[in-house]
Structure formats: C-alpha cells, structure tokens
C-alpha cells in the first residue's frame, strides 16, 4: 500500500467529480446493485431480475502491466434471462468469453454460466459455474458455486463456494442496501475461507450512490488478507434510458482503481400487458350489457380498446358489431342486439372478445366469450 496518501487524493478527486456530475442528471426511480458489476460473472441466478438490456463495461487498474477488463450485456424474457460477456486479464494475457442463463420459478432462481478461457499461446480451458437463489420480499439469498467443472485448466481455477445475502436495511434512520456473506475460495481442500460485506447508500436528492466494501480471507498459511473499497456512482434516468458511471479505489495487497460504465436503453420500458376482464348480461328486452375492466400493470397507460362481437370464436370470422375507443374503456358497454346494418342478431349464437393495447404496445386479449 505505497503512496496511499497520494492515491487517497486521487480517490477524493474521483468522488468530487461524481458529485458535481449529478447536477446534470435527473432523479433515479429505483436503486439496484446490479449495474455495479456484470451479473453473469458473479451471480448468474439473477440475470432475469435485470430489466431491459443492461450493458456494462468494467475495468480494474493496478499498473500499466496489470489490469483487468470485463463487459457483459443481458436480456430477459418473462422468467428467463440470457447474458454474454468478455473478460481480459492483462497480467496473464488471458481472454475469457462467458455465456449465462437463468430461470425463475415462483420465488426460486437457478442459473449457470459457461466460460471459455484462451491465450495467444494456444492454451484453452472450459469452466462451468452454477448458482441457486431464493427471493423473500425485498431480500434474496444466493448460493454460488464457481468452477464446478474445469476442463484442462491452465490458470489457477479452484472451485469456490459463495453464500450471499442481499437486501435493504435501516441504519441510523438511513436506508442502505447490504450485500454480504461467507465464502470458501478452495472447495477441494476446504481452505481459504473468507467474508465479504458491502453497504450502499442512495441519495434521495441526487442520482448518486456510494458503496463501501470489506473483504477478508485466510490463505493456506493461516494468514489473513483484507481489502477495503469505496466507490461512487451516478445515474441518468430519462424515459426508457438509464445510464451511469462508477469510480472508486480498492486498498489491498494490490491497490487498484475501479471504474465502470453502464447503459440500459430500455430499463423503464413497460413490458406488462394490461390486466383485463369481460362479463356479459342480457337485459329484459333484447340487448346485452358487457362489463369491462382494464388496469395497466406496467404503468404506461391504456392506448386503445376494442370489443368485438363475432359469429364464431375466431379473428377470421365475420364481425357482427365492433365497439372501440381510446384511453380507458367504459365499465359497461350496451349492445342493442343489432349488427352494423341494423339487422337484429341477438337470437343467434355469438361470441365476444375484449382487446386492450397500452401505450407501450403491449396487447391483452380475453378468451372468446359465448354471448348466448
């Protein structure tokens, strides 16, 4: 830890730059710890919890000849998530390509990541990571098993086991986010145990978050080594776009600067179709009352709606009568039993369907309902 005083000045400059930059950013709607690092490298079980298409580029700088670069992007589909990434380790001249997948079932998530390591000397190695997580309200517990299987390793890739707890806590009337847990860096020999703790704070007045981390591990000689880190991040949240940068410093046996750039062009995009329902009741004369309900779960608002009365339960069937409108539909629509030409059709067997489109073009449609 040489020249710690000089490096501390650099860290202070980094923090001041981040704080000044927040003057040009808008407020952040939701805080998440995922943008701080590419999730597929650290916990593939949580890939699908990321909204939009998060893309991140991260660098760790130790010296001119020793630095690491990694990046990844992810995409979620319903309860599944996919991610691909790349990592370069300058000191050993090794490249890594990683791909990850996860699936969410109720409150449980399972994920895996497959890596290919290679260098310019022709060495190639394959590795597999597995992860399992459970979500309880705002909290989660993950079990991450790295390097479960390694084929022809040419680097030090010991199997490692991590137990990680994440979630919000209240400390001195401040809302913080905690990420913590024990780990075992070498499962084969049951050695190199350690503990990781990270606390993050999100400013309510500026789109700024500050994180502080502590890392403790015991090596094979029963000696303890520690790391302490502090980072600052700021974000710009505008419509569907979220972007930001993170800078900081890690004090350890190999002091290093860390930084990352994050962009998500569709994080706030509404992908939830409206929740809708339809019911029908015949009046005392000859017509029908259709009860309609629509609520937009995603929050983008209802764009338009259509109530179709058809001869058969098919979109290709001849429409008997159509009702439509913009914005939120009425709670009740009355049909007098006549088609668009004025012919009375209410005594026939007909079918009705309710379709709603929101402002993000998500479409919800009921099943065909038999009118009589």
Question: Using H for helix, E for strand and C for coil, what is the string for the chain?
Answer: CCCHHHHHHHHHHHHHHHHHHHHHCCCCCCCCCHHHCCHHHHCHHHHHHCCCCCEEEEEEEEECCEEEEEEEEEEEECCEEEEEEEEEECCCCEEEEEEEEEEEECCEEEEEEEEEEEECCCCEEEEEEEEEEEEECCEEEEEEEEEEEEECCCCCCCCEEEEEEEEEEEECCEEEEEEEEEEEEECCCCEEEEEEEEEEEECCCCCEEEEEEEEEEECCCCCEEEEEEEEEEEEEEECCEEEEEEEEEEECCCCEEEEEEEEECCCCCCCCCCEEEEEEEECCCCCEEEEEEEECCCCCCEEEEEEEEECCCCCCCCEEEEEEEECCCCCEEEECCECCCCCECCCCCCEEEEEEEECCCCEEECCCEECC
All domains of the chain in start order, with CATH:
4-264 (2.40.160.60), 275-370 (2.60.40.4070)
Question: Which are the contacts of 315, defined by CB distance < 8 A and separation ≥ 6?
Answer: none
Low-confidence residues in the chain, pLDDT < 70: 1-37, 204, 239-240, 266-271, 284-285, 297-300
pLDDT of residue 2: 43
Q: Are 164 and 180 in contact (CB under 8 A)?
A: yes
How confident is the model at residue 271, as a pLDDT? 61
- Is pTM beyond 0.85 here? no
At residue 142, the pLDDT reads 94
Please write the tens of the pLDDT for every residue from 256-312.
898 888 888 765 555 677 788 888 888 766 789 999 988 876 566 788 899 999 998
HEC string of 87-146 equals EEECCCCEEEEEEEEEEEECCEEEEEEEEEEEECCCCEEEEEEEEEEEEECCEEEEEEEE
d(CA 158, CA 192): 11
pLDDT digits (tens, 9 = 90+) for 21-64: 222 222 222 333 333 467 899 899 989 887 778 888 999 898 88
pLDDT of residue 51: 75
Instruction: Please list the residues that pair with 333 across neighbouring strands.
Output: 290
- How far apart CA 79 and CA 137 sit, in angstroms, is 17
């Amino acid at each position: 830890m040489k020249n710690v005083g000089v490096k501390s000045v650099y860290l202070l400059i980094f923090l001041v730059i981040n704080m000044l930059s927040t003057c040009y950013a808008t407020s952040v709607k939701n805080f998440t710890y995922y943008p701080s690092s590419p999730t597929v490298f650290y916990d593939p079980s949580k890939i699908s919890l990321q909204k939009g298409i998060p893309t991140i580029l991260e660098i760790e700088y130790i010296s001119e000849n020793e630095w690491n670069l990694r990046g990844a992007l992810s995409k979620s589909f319903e309860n599944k998530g996919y991610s691909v990434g790349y990592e370069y380790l300058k000191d050993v001249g090794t490249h890594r390509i990683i791909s990850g997948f996860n699936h969410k079932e109720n409150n449980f998530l399972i994920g895996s990541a497959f890596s290919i390591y290679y260098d310019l000397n022709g060495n190639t190695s394959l590795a597999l990571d597995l992860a399992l997580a459970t979500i309880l309200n705002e909290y989660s517990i993950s079990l991450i098993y790295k390097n479960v299987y390694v084929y022809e390793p040419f680097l030090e890739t010991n199997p490692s086991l991590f137990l990680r707890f994440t979630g919000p806590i209240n400390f001195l009337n401040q809302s913080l986010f905690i990420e913590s847990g024990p780990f075992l860096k070498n499962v084969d020999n049951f050695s190199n145990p350690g503990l990781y703790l990270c606390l993050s704070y999100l400013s309510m007045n500026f789109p700024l978050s500050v994180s502080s981390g502590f890392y403790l591990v015991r090596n094979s000689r029963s000696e303890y080594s520690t790391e302490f880190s502090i980072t600052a991040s700021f974000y710009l949240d505008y419509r569907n776009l979220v972007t930001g940068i993170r800078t900081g410093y890690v004090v350890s046996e190999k002091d290093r600067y860390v930084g990352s750039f994050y962009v998500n062009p569709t994080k706030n995009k509404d992908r939830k179709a409206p929740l809708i329902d339809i019911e029908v009741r015949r009046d005392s004369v000859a017509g029908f009352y259709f009860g309609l309900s629509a609520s937009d779960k995603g929050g983008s608002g209802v764009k338009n709606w259509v109530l179709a009365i058809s001869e058969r339960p098919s979109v290709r069937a001849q429409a008997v009568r159509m009702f439509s409108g913009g914005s939120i539909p009425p709670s009740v629509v009355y049909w007098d039993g006549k088609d668009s030409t004025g012919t009375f059709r209410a005594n026939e067997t007909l079918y009705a369907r309710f379709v709603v489109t929101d402002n993000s073009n998500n479409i919800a449609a009921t099943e065909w309902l038999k009118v009589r």
